[in-house]
Structure 1
Amino acid sequence: MKLIFWKMQGLGNDFVVINSLEQKFSLTALQIKKIADRHFGVGCDQLLVLEKARNTTEDFFYRIFNADGCEVGQCGNGARCMGLFICKQNLFPHKKIKLGTLSACVTVNVEEKNNIEVEMGSPVFLPEKIPFLPEKAKNNNIKTSMGELTFFALSMGNPHAVIIVPDVSVIDVDKVGKEVSLHPAFPEQANVIFMELFNPRWVKCRIYERGTAETLACGSGACAAVVAGMQTSLLNGQVLVTLPGGNLEVKWEGGTVYLKGPAEKIFEGIIDDLESFVHIK
């Protein structure tokens, strides 16, 4: 069985994008891990699957799988890439597209290729909805290999822990991020954002994504960082978020969070024999 896919990226956060509307297939978590493998597969941070809408409030539904094969609820960079994918494939007559995910419905506006806007929905602070267990982390503090760290917990469709640091360049993101992500306070793990403040409208972030590792960019993580900064009165207005892969713009005025940034198609590809490919050891 052949599997047609697109390789796409948003600020270096890269995706394998598959259209299930035009080809029928099923993938196990192990198979997704193989496709995501950068040495023996195609290589990606996440795999995205486009499906038909599941209700009348959305135009399409899409599924998001991390490189470890686990399905997650939200991905800001993935939403921009999926919006561009739909437009380039001429699958929808409008530039404004409502995309359903496991956790929410986001609206993508693909007016400009290099400046795609996503309405990410409202942040969630209730611990049981994140989910976050505050009794496991007194005063939102966690002991790590770099000492005790204070974090801000919230959900942007998936759990996030935002940690303000003086200098993100000296952080061992994979090591410390994994320690925080796997802490018992986060029963479903969490994306961990290390944020350095330059001024009220400019921050620099490095992000550990659960099920992956540090990535060059994370859209939902950038949104979580800005929301946390505004909740603590450290940020205001439209904020420029500088990530290893480039810049994103985030705006939040108390309701939905707006995320703006680029997306790009890299190439189209075909896995000639899906069953043989994913079973190679």
Structure 2
Amino acid sequence: MSLSFHKMHANGDDFVLVDTRNSANPITSELARRLGDRHLGIGFNQLAVVLNCDDADARLQFWNADGSVLDVCGSATRGAADRLMREASRKSITLRTQRGLLTCERTPCGLIAVDMGQPLFDWTAIPLAQAYDTLVLPLPGDPSACSMGNPHCTYFVDDLGTVDIASLGPSLENHPLFPRKTNVHFVQIIDRQHIRLRIWERNGGIPLGSGSCACGAAVNGIRRGLLDHTVEVECDGGPVSVHWNGSGNVTLSGPVEHVYSGTIPDTPL
């Protein structure tokens, strides 16, 4: 069967949407990996499959470009919300992910805002290999850790230009302290309401941005008393806004853009 898709991005963090509501879902790990290849497929950081759902407007299933599964993707959630709200002529919808039910809204200035749920700080929730205080981990550089449905490890540095992310990222992602690996953030604080963020993404390398990583980095800065409750997070591809009042849920807001739509023939079920 043929496979229709939409290629989108959020400040350069690119993703593909496949809408399988009322049809069979053909996506497997092998097919996700083939579609994610930037030379032989479509190419993306994440793939989001839109599925029918009984208790929300739709359910989202996420894949990395290497064929691995992830529980949540802030950028692709915003992209799916944008398309579904346009389709239904609505300003808000609810989407179910492995993270739970996420409420999405179109802001008055046209951005897409997503309630990303509560951050988790217990060592078992991230998870870590053993019990440690997640505010300051026992690693060189004293990073913080949290979970936004996926694991995040945040380093605060004086100058991002001195950090060799391509070298440090893989070793930190695969450190024995993180049995499910981890996303790694390197944060330079510009002021209490503005940070620069560069990322090594779990199973993905260096992206231009990441919604969930922006949330994790801001949350870790807020809980360490370094940042105010609303933070502009400037990634390589552009800025997003993260709000967290120190308890409760995190809100992620930013733009999304449609790049193109297409069809791949003869996709195996």
TM range (shorter): over 0.9
Moved more, 166-175 or 152-161: 166-175
Superimposed CA distance per residue, residues 206-250 of structure 1 (whole angstroms, 9 cap, x where no aligned partner): 011111111101111111111111111000131111100000111
1:128 to 124, 130, 133: 124
Deviation at 1:31, TM superposition (A): 1.5
Which amino acid is 1:9 matched to? H
Structure 1: which 5+ residue stretches go unaligned? 143-147
Following the alignment from structure 1 to structure 2, what is the Cα–Cα distance between the partners of residues 209 and 131? 16
Residue in structure 2 matched with residue 61 of structure 1 by the alignment: 59
Following the alignment from structure 2 to structure 1, what is the Cα–Cα distance between the partners of residues 219 and 103? 19
User: How does 1:49-88 map onto structure 2 within 5 Å?
Assistant: 49-53=49-53, 55-56=54-55, 58-88=56-86
Following the alignment from structure 1 to structure 2, what is the Cα–Cα distance between the partners of residues 236 and 163? 18
Quick one: structure 1 residues 205 and 265, their matched pair in 2 at CA, closer, same or farther if it must change by over 3 Å?
A: same
> So what's the TM-score if we normalise by structure 1?
0.89
Following the alignment from structure 1 to structure 2, what is the Cα–Cα distance between the partners of residues 64 and 218? 14
Tell whether 2:155 aligns with 1:157.
no
SS in structure 2 of the partner of residue 223 of structure 1: helix
Following the alignment from structure 1 to structure 2, what is the Cα–Cα distance between the partners of residues 182 and 261? 30
Tell whether 2:44 aligns with 1:44.
yes
Residue in structure 1 matched with residue 137 of structure 2 by the alignment: 140
Following the alignment from structure 2 to structure 1, what is the Cα–Cα distance between the partners of residues 31 and 167? 26
CA-based RMSD of the aligned residues comes to 2.0
Q: Is the 8 A contact 2:124 2:131 kept in 1?
A: no
Tell whether 2:218 aligns with 1:226.
yes
2:260 to 229, 253, 267: 267
Tell whether 2:115 aligns with 1:119.
yes
Which amino acid is 1:110 matched to? R
The number of equivalent residue pairs is 267
Deviation at 1:133, TM superposition (A): 2.4
Following the alignment from structure 1 to structure 2, what is the Cα–Cα distance between the partners of residues 25 and 103? 20
SS in structure 2 of the partner of residue 267 of structure 1: strand
Superimposed CA distance per residue, residues 18-72 of structure 1 (whole angstroms, 9 cap, x where no aligned partner): 001144232221221110010000010011000111x53x321100101111111
Superimposed CA distance per residue, residues 81-134 of structure 1 (whole angstroms, 9 cap, x where no aligned partner): 01012123x2x4532111111122211102457411111111000111111224
Q: Is the 8 A contact 1:153 1:159 kept in 2?
A: yes
Deviation at 1:150, TM superposition (A): 1.9
Following the alignment from structure 2 to structure 1, what is the Cα–Cα distance between the partners of residues 205 and 82? 25
Residue in structure 2 matched with residue 145 of structure 1 by the alignment: none
Q: Is the 8 A contact 1:119 1:256 kept in 2?
A: yes
1:258 to 247, 251, 254: 251
Which amino acid is 2:173 matched to? S
Following the alignment from structure 1 to structure 2, what is the Cα–Cα distance between the partners of residues 195 and 213? 17
Which amino acid is 1:140 matched to? L
Q: Is the 8 A contact 1:74 1:104 kept in 2?
A: no
Residue in structure 2 matched with residue 35 of structure 1 by the alignment: 35
Q: Is the 8 A contact 2:123 2:131 kept in 1?
A: no
> So what's the TM-score if we normalise by structure 2?
0.93
Q: Is the 8 A contact 2:5 2:262 kept in 1?
A: yes
Following the alignment from structure 1 to structure 2, what is the Cα–Cα distance between the partners of residues 177 and 87? 36
Structure 2: which 5+ residue stretches go unaligned? none
SS in structure 2 of the partner of residue 180 of structure 1: helix
Following the alignment from structure 1 to structure 2, what is the Cα–Cα distance between the partners of residues 149 and 200? 20
